[in-house]
Structure 1
Amino acid sequence: MRLFIAAYLPADVERHLAEMTGSLNVRQPMPEGRSLRVVPVEQWHMTLAFIGEVEDAKQEAAVGALHALPELVPEVRIAGGGRFGRGKFTTLFAKVDGDVAPLGDAVRAALRKRRVPFDHRPLQPHVTIARPSDRLPEDELMADLEALNAYRGPLWRVGDVRLMKSELGPKPHYTALATTRDT
């Protein structure tokens, strides 16, 4: 199974960001059969650790890591934007600014302690908005990036951290397996 640990946005922050992104080129209707692979608002999250494919036995260790997290409630906000990749690998995201590094470090330390493998690349706190690939003209993508770079969302305290199962495909699906609220 494919797993990751993520922090989820509170409803008011989701609404605020959804309102802002509603006018972006990536959120505009496309002709039939074309998709900019917009991430639905209910799937917006900030990945703290990508675990990837693991055997079922490691799921329990990952749940234990989540439940062992210290009480860290950093204050963050969506501020700015960016993109990963180019051409058919383009991903548009909103940056998360604030004191999220200690939470990311705690998640990764808890996973290490329980010998759950994870991606060790540096944490880049963000919320993926869309994966437009090369289907959006560069000038429209740059306009979206400019709009995201000017955005400053409301502050919130990260208190909803979840272990998620990810099912890939044309319409990816995420299922919460555990949450820090379960403890």
Structure 2
Amino acid sequence: MRLFVAVNPPAAAIDHLGAQVTRLRVTAASAAGVNVRLAGPAQLHVTVSFLGDVEAARLVEVESALGSAAQHLHDGRHAVPRLSLGGGGRFGQGRSTVLWVGLRGEVEALHVLAGLVRSRLRQARLPYDARPLRPHLTVARPADRMDPADIEADRADLDDYRGPEWQVTELLLMRSQLDPRGSRYDRLAAWPL
């Protein structure tokens, strides 16, 4: 199973972002039939830690590690993050171009949560991507199907975007299933924060 740990913005934040995304060039290109992939509202999430392929037999260990991380956040020494979506960016170039919106607010508290998750995964000898957390929410995958100037204009528009504030309420274990039309995400477990 291909697994990751995430937090989800609430519906109001997703709807607010959606209104901004409808004004982007990537959305117009999609409506015109250009094969760009827009992230659907149900797919929007912030990855806290990517585990990659994990044997199904180890799912209980993963759940135990994440439950421990969530419980540790409740010990009073760590704040539950209050965040907002805002700022734009882009990863990759050519076929791997991804357009994203960043996070503002108590981002350091999100880094603490990610550190707790990774610590518990490491203690359980479970796999995870050790690269530094770059909190973002993927908006679209225009790849090389759009003029780079249009992608840059969308990035600049997202850079000016400021969404409503929200508090992280749960930690999610998600399964990613790769599909030629785009990845599909299934919620496997959740822990309240």
Q: TM-score range by the shorter chain?
A: over 0.9
**Partner Cα distance (2:171, 2:82) in 1:** 14
2:54 alignment partner AA: V
Q: Confirm whether residue 88 of structure 1 aligns to residue 78 of structure 2.
A: no
Who is 2:176 aligned against?
166
For residues 30 and 16 of structure 1, do their structure 2 counterparts lie closer, same or farther at Cα, with a shift above 3 Å needed?
A: closer
Show structure 2 runs of 5+ residues with no match.
none
Q: Which runs of 4+ in 1 moved over 6 A?
A: none
User: In the comparison of the two structures, how many residue pairs are matched?
Assistant: 181
Who is 1:155 aligned against?
165
Once the 2 structures are TM-superposed, how far is the Cα of residue 25 of structure 1 from its aligned partner? 1.1
Who is 1:42 aligned against?
42
SS in 1 for 2:12: helix
- TM-score normalised by L of structure 1: 0.93
Who is 2:141 aligned against?
131
Who is 1:76 aligned against?
83
SS in 2 for 1:134: coil
User: How big is each residue's C-alpha offset from its partner over 1:77-126, in whole Å with a ceiling of 9 and x where there is no partner?
Assistant: 11201011011110000011233111111111121122211000000000
Q: Confirm whether residue 144 of structure 1 aligns to residue 154 of structure 2.
A: yes
RMSD between aligned alpha carbons? Answer: 1.5
Q: Confirm whether residue 176 of structure 1 aligns to residue 176 of structure 2.
A: no
2:38 alignment partner AA: V
The one of 107, 115, 127 equivalent to 2:117 is 107
User: How big is each residue's C-alpha offset from its partner over 1:12-47, in whole Å with a ceiling of 9 and x where there is no partner?
Assistant: 111111111111111223444x42111101110000
SS in 2 for 1:180: strand
SS in 1 for 2:102: strand
Once the 2 structures are TM-superposed, how far is the Cα of residue 160 of structure 1 from its aligned partner? 2.3
Show structure 1 runs of 5+ residues with no match.
none
User: How big is each residue's C-alpha offset from its partner over 1:139-162, in whole Å with a ceiling of 9 and x where there is no partner?
Assistant: 111110110000111111111221
- Within 5 Å, which residues of 2 pair with 1:55-74? 55-68=55-68, 69=70, 70-71=73-74, 72-74=79-81
SS in 1 for 2:139: strand
Identity across aligned pairs (percent)?
38
Q: Confirm whether residue 10 of structure 1 aligns to residue 13 of structure 2.
A: no
**Partner Cα distance (2:32, 2:158) in 1:** 24
